[in-house]
Amino acid sequence: MIEFTLKNITHSNAGVYYCEYFRGDESSRSSDSLELVVTGIYNEKPFLSADAGPQEISKRNVTLLCHTHTSFDTFILCRGGNASFPQSCSRQDHNTFLISPVRPGHRRTYRCFASLKHSSYLWSVPSDLLEFSIPVSNYRLENYIRLILAIIILLGLGSLLLDAWSSRESP
């Protein structure tokens, strides 16, 4: 195995790397590609915020918004806060990222970067970490309370019906 070391990484090192070797007149297949991004090229720090969508009992959609003041045309969202592209990051040409479904107990951290399409491997400084979690609800307790309220309402309606029935029979 041969190792290659890149020291003093600059914007000129960003891009796609792959390797292959030659043995005589034959060449190997190309390796999987490695995308090397350089962060901190643009000094504007994006701001990452969460916008919870409509809530359902079993799942919830969360939209993460990566805001910038400059006219960037590419946005990158990374899970866990690491810029490990593409394993933990997704890149797109708009600043909204839908995280779905998010279930109770979901707890994650995210960070976003901004870039330009013509230099997509040169990223801004990272946003601050955004951590959000969906609290676990105690559905048994909530259902137990609903059951008790339903019984109280049914008993009340039953007593009203009994009262109406008994007053109809009285002279």
The enclosing domain of 94 has a CATH number of 2.60.40.10
Q: Are 110 and 77 in contact (CB under 8 A)?
A: yes
Range of the domain at 98: 38-137
- List, for residues 28-55, the tens digit of each pLDDT value: 888 888 888 888 999 999 999 987 655 5
Q: How many whole angstroms separate alpha carbon 21 and alpha carbon 82?
A: 31
Q: Are 126 and 112 in contact (CB under 8 A)?
A: yes
- List, for residues 82-117, the tens digit of each pLDDT value: 666 567 888 999 999 988 777 767 678 899 999 999
The answer as to whether 168 is a domain residue is no
- In the chain, the number of structural domains is 1
